[in-house]
């Protein structure tokens, strides 16, 4: 039960690679020490992975929104969670490709080794990113079913907002209140802190993985329930029809 369009590899990789090099070269220009360079590279790569993966999840409904073909998806005998799961699996595969490529660039261009924490911790970190992406993508889907076309902006802005708050390029401790407190409610914060802890950065809070996965799981459960509710509502208000004409 998977989702459409096998975008050409070029299209998936273009923006992540451009973003990666512009930030990577910035660190070279600023002449940062290797650990700080690593800090920032972890940030930009995580962001790319999340962008690619979350948009794939959101595309479970985004494409139908753009094409106005919503009703043809919902008249098919497929459960929405199968649809979302399928989209997520595609997203995981594609963002894994992005990660591998950017990790190779990091190693050879900026001499930063993503495997230093070991394969298992790195896998946990990636899993964390994928779950976070699922969460963001599902939020977009939920917003689409409630707000229709107005929700489209969420697809692009949600993950950027998250980047701002969760400390993609800086530790969250430098943020003004209440942003650090909000950041602690977002799983991404913990996964970033977890990976960075292997490179000598301590955010000053503990049980990173437990918090990260706990929160991610909590949000996913809430979102599954919310999704059912808003789908029910969309069938009452005729939103599915409005998004089909």
Partner 1 sequence: MALAIKAEGIYKSFYTGWLKRSEKQVLRGIHLEVEKGEIFGILGPNGAGKTTLLSILSTLLFPDRGQIEILGMDSRREAHRIREKVNLSSGNANFLWSMTVEENLHFYGMLYGLAGHRRNQKVKELISLLGLEEHRGVSFDRLSTGMKQRLALAKSLLNDPSVLFLDEPTVGLDPSVSVWIRQQIQMIQKERGMTILLTTHNMREAERLCDRIAFLKDGRILTAGDPDSLKRMVRLGDLIKIEFEGRVEEDELGRIEGVINYSVTNGLCEVIVDEGERRLGPLITKLSEDGVKIKRVTLGQTDLEEVFLEFSKSSNSDMGLYLQELDHDQAKYL
Please count the other Cβ atoms lying within 10 Å of the Cβ belonging to residue 135: 25
Residue 100, interface with partner 1 (CB under 8 A)?
no
Which partner, partner 1, ligand ADP, none, binds residue 79 by CB below 5 to 8 Å per kind? Answer: partner 1
Cα–Cα separations (whole angstroms), residue 151 to 41, 88, 182, 234: 31, 20, 22, 14
Q: Distance between CA atoms of 14 and 204, rounded to whole angstroms?
A: 36
Considering the complex, state which of residue 90 and residue 208 has its C-beta at the smaller distance from partner 1.
90
Pick the binder of partner 1 from 30, 35, 68, 217 (CB under 8 A).
68
Bond prior to 163 in cis (omega within 30° of 0): no
* Contact status, residue 56 vs residue 94, Cβ threshold 8 Å: yes
Residue 1, interface with partner 1 (CB under 8 A)?
yes
Give the residue carrying structure tokens 């599954």.
Answer: 224
State the minimum distance, in angstroms, from the CB of residue 73 to partner 1. 7
Residue 63, interface with partner 1 (CB under 8 A)?
yes
Q: Distance between CA atoms of 170 and 130, rounded to whole angstroms?
A: 21
Q: Of 224, 238, 82, give the one whose Cα is nearest residue 142.
A: 224
State the minimum distance, in angstroms, from the CB of residue 144 to partner 1. 16
Q: Which residues within the stretch 216-235 sit at the binding site for partner 1 (CB under 8 A)? A: 232, 235
Q: Distance between CA atoms of 99 and 104, rounded to whole angstroms?
A: 8
Residue 242, interface with ligand ADP (CB under 6 A)?
yes
Residue 5, interface with partner 1 (CB under 8 A)?
yes
Considering the complex, state which of residue 5 and residue 157 has its C-beta at the smaller distance from partner 1.
5
Q: How many CA atoms lie within 13 A of 236 on its CB side?
A: 7
Q: Distance between CA atoms of 235 and 245, rounded to whole angstroms?
A: 15
Which partner, ligand ADP, partner 1, none, binds residue 93 by CB below 5 to 8 Å per kind? Answer: none
Considering the complex, state which of residue 10 and residue 236 has its C-beta at the smaller distance from partner 1.
236
Considering the complex, state which of residue 59 and residue 223 has its C-beta at the smaller distance from partner 1.
59
In the complex, the residues that contact ligand ADP under the rule CB under 6 A are: 238, 241-242
In the complex, the residues that contact partner 1 under the rule CB under 8 A are: 1-2, 4-5, 63, 66-69, 71-79, 83, 232, 235-238, 240-241, 244-245
């Amino acid at each position: 039960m998977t989702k459409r369009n096998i975008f050409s590899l070029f299209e998936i990789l273009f923006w992540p690679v451009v973003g990666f090099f512009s930030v990577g070269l910035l660190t070279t220009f600023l002449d940062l020490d290797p650990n700080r360079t690593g800090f920032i590279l972890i940030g930009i790569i995580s962001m790319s992975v999340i962008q690619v993966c979350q948009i794939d999840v959101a595309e479970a409904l985004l494409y139908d929104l753009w094409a106005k073909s919503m009703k043809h998806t919902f008249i098919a005998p497929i459960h929405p969670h199968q649809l979302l799961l399928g989209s997520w699996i595609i997203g995981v595969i594609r963002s894994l490709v992005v990660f591998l490529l950017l990790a190779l660039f990091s190693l050879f261009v900026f001499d930063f080794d993503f495997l230093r924490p070991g394969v298992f911790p790195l896998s946990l970190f990636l899993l964390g990113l994928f779950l976070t992406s699922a969460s963001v993508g599902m939020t977009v889907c939920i917003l689409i079913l409630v707000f229709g076309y107005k929700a489209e902006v969420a697809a692009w802005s949600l993950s950027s907002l998250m980047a701002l708050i969760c400390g993609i390029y800086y530790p969250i401790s430098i943020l003004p209140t209440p942003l650090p407190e909000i950041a602690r409610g977002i799983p991404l914060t913990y996964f970033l802190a977890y990976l960075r802890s292997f490179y000598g950065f301590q955010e000053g809070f503990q049980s990173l993985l437990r918090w990260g996965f706990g929160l991610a799981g909590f949000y996913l459960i809430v979102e599954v329930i919310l999704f059912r509710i808003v789908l029910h509502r969309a069938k009452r208000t005729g939103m599915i029809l409005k998004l089909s004409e």
